[in-house]
């Protein structure tokens, strides 16, 4: 079975994502975001777009969203998904640095097994302010109006928080659910 590609967007916690995937026995390979899309297509079963400092340094990440593979965007990865599909991102009014209570308002396969409210860890200044057409708003918080969005019919999911850190309630479940989604898509 092909691995999941973890796209390095220069985020400070890429190694934590990779470690969590390894600990969960999910086969994943980290790739640089300057890897051409044609080298990604056909060589993996799903893509995780990691966090990072800015959309300007997203490399080929936006192109990966359109490969027909399941995609999970984390923090900057969410912003890549949103802007690639016609949404927009702007500096948040408050930013999110620390613990946040997130309310799941519309369930999807990525959130299977979660309660309606979860405590998560945020680390961002920017946020999605316009959701792309055809996407569903899945989660909100007091500091961020779009904590999670999805286009489930294309297996595209984006979350603003960091499931890879220990401060996020059962963050491992996000990766387990995404792994299941990629396996069902084969």
**Mean model confidence pLDDT for the chain:** 94
- Single out the residue of 140, 156, 163 nearest to residue 108, CA to CA: 156
Q: What is the mean pLDDT of residues 25-34?
A: 98
pLDDT of residue 119: 96
Active site residues: 75, 162, 164
Count of positions (residues) in the chain: 186
What pLDDT digit, counting tens, does each position of 35-91 carry? 999 999 999 999 999 998 889 999 999 999 999 999 999 999 999 999 999 999 987
Residue % of the chain over a pLDDT of 90: 86
Which domains, from first to last, does the chain contain?
Answer: 4-184 (3.40.50.880)
Which residues, including other chains, have CB under 8 Å from residue 120's CB and lie 6 or more apart? 99, 100, 101, 102, 147, 161, 162, 163, 167, 168, 169, 171
Q: What is the pTM of this model?
A: 0.96
Across the chain, how many H-helices and E-strands are there? 5, 9
Q: What is the mean pLDDT of residues 156-167?
A: 95
């Amino acid at each position: 079975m092909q691995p999941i590609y973890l796209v390095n967007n220069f985020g400070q916690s890429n190694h934590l994502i990779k470690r969590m995937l390894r600990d969960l026995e999910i086969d994943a390979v980290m790739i640089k975001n300057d890897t051409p899309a044609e080298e990604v297509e056909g060589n993996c079963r799903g893509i995780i777009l990691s966090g990072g400092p800015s959309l300007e340094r997203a490399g080929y990440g936006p192109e990966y969203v359109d490969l027909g593979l399941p995609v999970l965007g984390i923090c900057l990865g969410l912003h890549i998904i949103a802007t690639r599909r016609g949404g927009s991102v702007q500096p948040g009014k408050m930013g999110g640095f620390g613990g946040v209570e997130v309310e799941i308002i519309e369930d999807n396969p990525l959130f299977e097994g979660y309660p309606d409210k979860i405590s998560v860890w945020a680390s961002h200044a920017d946020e999605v302010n316009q959701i792309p057409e055809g996407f569903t708003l899945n989660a909100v918080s007091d500091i961020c109006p779009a904590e999670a969005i999805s286009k489930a019919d294309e297996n595209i999911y984006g979350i603003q928080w960091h499931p890879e850190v220990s401060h996020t309630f059962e963050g491992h479940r996000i990766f387990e659910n995404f792994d299941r989604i990629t396996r069902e898509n084969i």
